[in-house]
Amino acid sequence: MLPGFGGHLISEAFLEEALRTIDGDGRHAAERFRGDLIQWRRRCAVLGPASSVRTVLHVGATPLFVALGFDAPIQIEPMDHHLAATVSHASHRTTLIVTAWAEPLDHFWRLAVMQAIRRATDWCFVFNGIRLRIVDARRLYARRFVEFDLDLAQDDERSCAALFRIASAAALIDRSDSRSLHAIVSASDRHAAGVCRSLKDGVLSASADLLGALVARPPLGEGGIGDSFEQALTIVYRMLFLLFAEARSLVPLWHPVYRHSYSVEALRGCAELAEPASGLWDALRAIARLAHTGCRAGDLHVMPFNGRLFSPSRTPLAERRGLDDEAARRAILSLSTQPTPDRAGRHPIAYRDLGVEQLGAVYETLLDYQPRIAPSPASPGRRRAHATVTLEPGSGVRKATGTFYTPQPIADYVVRRTLGPLVRELSSARILQVRIVDPAMGSGAFLVAACRYLAGAYEEALIREGGCHSSDLGEPERAAIRRSIAERCLYGVDLNPMAVQLARLSLWLATLAADRPLTFLDHRLQTGDSLLGAWLANLRQPPDRRRRPDQRRPTLPLFDDEAVRDALRAALPVRFSLESTPSDNIDQVRAKERAFAGTTARDASMSRWKRIADVWCASWFRQTELPPAAFGSLSDAILTGRSALASRTVEQCLAAADAIRTSHRFFHWELEFPEVFFDEEGRRLPNGGFDAVIGNPPWDMIRADAGSAEERSGARHEIAALLRFTRDAGIYQAQSTGHANRYQLFVERAVDLTRTGGRIGMVLPAGLATDHGSSALRMRLLTHCDVDAIVGIDNHRGIFPIHRSVRFLLVTASAGLPTREIACRMGLDDLADLEAIGEQPADTSTWFHVRVTPALLEHVSGPGLAIPSIRTA
C-alpha cells in the first residue's frame, strides 16, 4: 500500500507496479522532490485553523506547486471562503482551488469541475494545506479523483514518488505524451479491466472447486446439484463480501486476533503455503459464524452481519465435516489472488481498486455456466464411482434471456436523467419518500447508481435547507445517508435468485458501515417474474381462456375493495414500520426479519390473497382449462376453508396452481409492495405507483427454437401459455400478434407501475423505435408518457457482448402526459460522451442534435409513429 494515497482515479496496485519501472532520472527527480517536500512541510508548520485562505495559498500552495515544476499561481479569484486560481507550465494550464486549512475536500467536487470548465482545463487541483486532490474534470459525474495526505507522503519514499509522478508539471502535459496523467489514467483503466477479468475467472474457478467439495461427500440433499451450486455460490459471495470489506477497513483488521485468525487475508496466507492444506473448511465456517453473530471480547468488537448471507442454514452442506480442504485452498487462492503478468506466479487482487459494480460482470459470467455431474468409472480399489462435477459453458441463460451487465456510464446516465427532474427541487425529507424500482434488476447496477444519486441529492437538499454544513458530512455520515436511501427508496425484482443475492450484496457493499449491521433488504429486493402476475382488479372476474378481453361479457365482481382491505390493514403497518425503523443494531434488524416473516407466512391474510392471484394466473398456464366458475369456489376455499367444489377437487386444483406458481414465479405487484399503491388503512392511493422505474430489461424474443427436439417441444407449450397470458388475460394492452419480445412487455409494465408524473428510464433495443411489431407499444408510450429524450448507441465497439451491428436506445420519459417533443441524439459509440449532457433539461440542451414531435413522426412514418434512425452524434 501507499500511505496517504486515496481516491479511485488511478489503481493503487497499478501505481505501485508503475513506480518499479521508473528509470534512473525519474528516481533522482523524485528524490529531489522529496527533499523539497520535507522542507516545504517544515515551512508550513505556521499554518493552522486560524490561517486565512490567502495565507494557505501563499505559504502552502505556491511553494508546493513550484516544487512540482509549475509557475506561481495566476488569475487568482476570491470566492466564498476559498480561492480559485490557475497554475501553468509552459503552455499547459491546470485549475487550482485553495480551501481553508484542513477543510474536508469532498464537497468541492462541483466547484472544481465548474472552475476547470471555465478555465478550459482537464484537471483541477484542490488543496487545503494538508491534502492535495486532483479531480478529473472531463467526466462530470464519475467523480473520479486521486488524493494525497502530504504529511504521510513525505514520510514514505514510494508515496512521495507517486505524488511526483502524478501531480508534477511533467505529468500534466499534452495527453498524447506517454508520461502524461491522461496516459497514466488510461493505463490504470486497462489494468482495472484486467483485474475484473481475473475476478470473473476466479469466481468461476472457486465456484467449481467449492461445488465439487460439497457434492463429493453425500448426501446432497433434496435440492440436488442445483441446490448444491447455490450453496457454493453463497460461500463465494461471503468471501467476496469480506474481501471488499477488508480492503475498505470496514472490519477490525487493526486488531491482531481478527487479522491473523478471522480475515480472508489470513486464509490467503495459509493457502499460499506449500504444505498440504488442512483446517481451511473449519476456518471458513468460523469466519462465517463470526460474521453472522459478531462478538465482543475485550477491545475486539466485531459487528454482526445479519441476514441470510452468513447464516449457517443457508449452507448446510458446508456445515458437514470431512470436506476437501484442498478444494477450499484452491477457491481461496482463486478469489484472493490473480496470475502475475508473466504467469509465473500469483499476487493478491487489489479489492480496494474494484468497484461494487464489478459484481455485475461476475453475474454475467456465471449465467453462461451450469453445473454438470458425471460419475467417474469405479477403480478396483474404490468401492463406488466418484462423482466429477464441472461448470460447463452453454447454459444459454444469458443469450436466451438477453441479459447483459450494463456498463456503469450507461447506468449513471439513465439514473441521472431519470431521477434528476424528479428530485431536483425536493426537500431532504421528501427525497426519502421517493420510491424507485428496477423490475429486472440483475446484480443491482441501476439500484446502486440510484442509491448514490439520491444520497447526493439528499445531501445537497440538507445543506440547502441549513440542516448541516458540507464540512459536517464525512464518510460515516454519507454511509448513513446511503443506508437510509437503500432501506426507504429502492425496490427490485428479478426472476433469477442468484441475481437477487448479488443485488443484495451490491447494495450491502455500497451502504456498508463499520459500526452497523447490514441493512434489511429482503422486503424490497425479491425474486419473481415481473411480467407474470395479476392486479387486484383482475381478480374480480374469473379467468376465461375461451374469449378475448373485448369479447367477455361483464359480470358481477367476485370481490370488492373491502374484501382485500382487511388483509392490507394487517400487512401495511408492518411494511411501513420496516421502512421507518432504522437498522442501527442487530436487534432491530432481527425484529424486522421476524415481522416480515409474519406477513409472508402461508397462513397470513396477504399470503391467502397472493394464492388467489396465483390461481388466477395459473389458469392461463394449465394444460387443461379450468371452468371460469371454479375460480370463485377455489377463492372461497383459500379465504374461508369452505367451497362448493369437492374437497379432493379443491386439493388437486390448488396443488396444480402451486406447482405452476413455483415454476413461473408469479409476482403480484400490489400484494408484494402494497405500500406503493395503498395507504396505511388499505385505501388505494389516488396517485399510486412508483416514482420512477429504471433498468435494462431482457431483450429476448419469446420463442422456442433452442435445445433438443424434446426441449423445444416442452418450451413450445410454455411459450404458448405465456403468449396466451400476455395477449388474452387483459394484463397487457399493446402487444402485437407477431413475434413477441420480452422488452415490449417490460415497457408496458413500466408504464403501468409508474404514478402520474413519475419517471421512466430504460435501456432498450432500437426495435422499439423502428419495428412494425412495436407500433402499438410506441403509440401507447407516446400517448401515455411524455418521452423527453432518446439516445441511440451503436454497438460496433462491443459495449454489449452481442453482435456489433446491434443498436440500442436510452429512453427517458415522464408518465401520465402525452409526448410533446423528443430530443434525440443517434449514433453515439463512445460512452464517455454521455458525461457531456449533464443534468440540463432535454428541451433546452444543445447536446441533443435533433428534435421530433409525434405530429412530425406521423407525417414521416405514418400511424405507426416509427422514429427514423439518423446518425446525429
- Give the integer Cα–Cα distance in Å for 362 and 198: 10
Predicted confidence at residue 222, as pLDDT, reads 67
Position 803 pLDDT exceeds 70: no
Position 711 pLDDT exceeds 70: no
Position 542 pLDDT exceeds 70: yes
Predicted confidence at residue 713, as pLDDT, reads 64
What are the structural domains, with CATH classification, of the chain?
5-179 (no CATH), 193-395 (no CATH), 398-423+441-511+690-700+741-873 (3.40.50.150)
Mean per-residue pLDDT for 424-450?
Answer: 94
Predicted confidence at residue 686, as pLDDT, reads 94
Position 29 pLDDT exceeds 50: yes
Predicted confidence at residue 871, as pLDDT, reads 72
Confidence band, pLDDT 50/70/90 cuts, at residue 738? low
Is pLDDT larger for residue 177 or for residue 670? Answer: 670
Residues, the chain: 873
Contact in structure between 352 and 12 (CB atoms under 8 Å): yes
Q: Which three cell numbers stand for residue 164?
A: 511526483
Helix (H) or strand (E) holding 326: helix 325-336
Position 486 pLDDT exceeds 70: yes
Of residues 173, 157, 132, 143, the one with CA closest to residue 44: 132
Could you count the other beta carbons within 10 Å of the beta carbon of residue 90?
Answer: 10
Predicted confidence at residue 472, as pLDDT, reads 78
Contact in structure between 303 and 583 (CB atoms under 8 Å): no
Question: What do you get for the CA distance between the two ends of the chain, in Å?
Answer: 42
Model pLDDT for residues 630-659, shown as the tens digit of each residue? 999 999 999 988 888 899 999 999 999 999
Predicted confidence at residue 402, as pLDDT, reads 46
Is pLDDT larger for residue 842 or for residue 240? Answer: 240
Model pLDDT for residues 289-321, shown as the tens digit of each residue? 999 888 888 899 888 886 678 889 889 999 988
Torsion angles phi and psi, residue 436, rounded to 5: -120, 140
Position 856 pLDDT exceeds 70: yes
Predicted confidence at residue 845, as pLDDT, reads 78
Mean per-residue pLDDT for 243-251?
Answer: 89
Predicted confidence at residue 438, as pLDDT, reads 98
| Lowest model confidence (mean pLDDT) among 282-286, 585-589, 617-621 | 585-589
Could you count the other beta carbons within 10 Å of the beta carbon of residue 649?
Answer: 15
- Give the integer Cα–Cα distance in Å for 208 and 37: 51
Contact in structure between 210 and 44 (CB atoms under 8 Å): no
For the chain, what percent of residues have pLDDT higher than 70? 91
- Give the integer Cα–Cα distance in Å for 279 and 284: 9
Q: Is 718 exposed, middle or buried (0-12, 13-18, 19+ CB in 10 A)?
A: middle
Predicted confidence at residue 554, as pLDDT, reads 64
Predicted confidence at residue 356, as pLDDT, reads 81
**In 176-223, which residue ranges form alpha helices assigned H by DSSP?**
181-216
Contact in structure between 333 and 228 (CB atoms under 8 Å): no
Of residues 12, 665, 610, the one with CA closest to residue 350: 12
Predicted confidence at residue 386, as pLDDT, reads 53
Averaged confidence pLDDT in the chain: 87
Model pLDDT for residues 722-735, shown as the tens digit of each residue? 888 988 888 998 87
Predicted confidence at residue 750, as pLDDT, reads 97
Position 627 pLDDT exceeds 80: yes
Predicted confidence at residue 176, as pLDDT, reads 66
- Give the integer Cα–Cα distance in Å for 733 and 781: 11
3-class DSSP assignment, residue 366:
helix
- Give the integer Cα–Cα distance in Å for 37 and 22: 20
Predicted confidence at residue 384, as pLDDT, reads 46
Predicted confidence at residue 728, as pLDDT, reads 87
Predicted confidence at residue 59, as pLDDT, reads 95
Predicted confidence at residue 274, as pLDDT, reads 67
- Strand residue runs (E) in 439-581: 490-494, 525-527
3-class DSSP assignment, residue 470:
helix
The one-letter amino acid code at 682 reads G
Is pLDDT larger for residue 753 or for residue 201? Answer: 753
Torsion angles phi and psi, residue 638, rounded to 5: -70, -45
Could you tell me the pTM of the whole model? 0.89
Mean per-residue pLDDT for 160-186?
Answer: 85
Predicted confidence at residue 260, as pLDDT, reads 92
Position 102 pLDDT exceeds 60: yes
Predicted confidence at residue 411, as pLDDT, reads 92
Position 45 pLDDT exceeds 70: yes
Torsion angles phi and psi, residue 329, rounded to 5: -60, -45
Model pLDDT for residues 369-386, shown as the tens digit of each residue? 888 876 655 555 544 445
Contact in structure between 870 and 842 (CB atoms under 8 Å): no
Is pLDDT larger for residue 326 or for residue 354? Answer: 326
- Give the integer Cα–Cα distance in Å for 433 and 345: 52
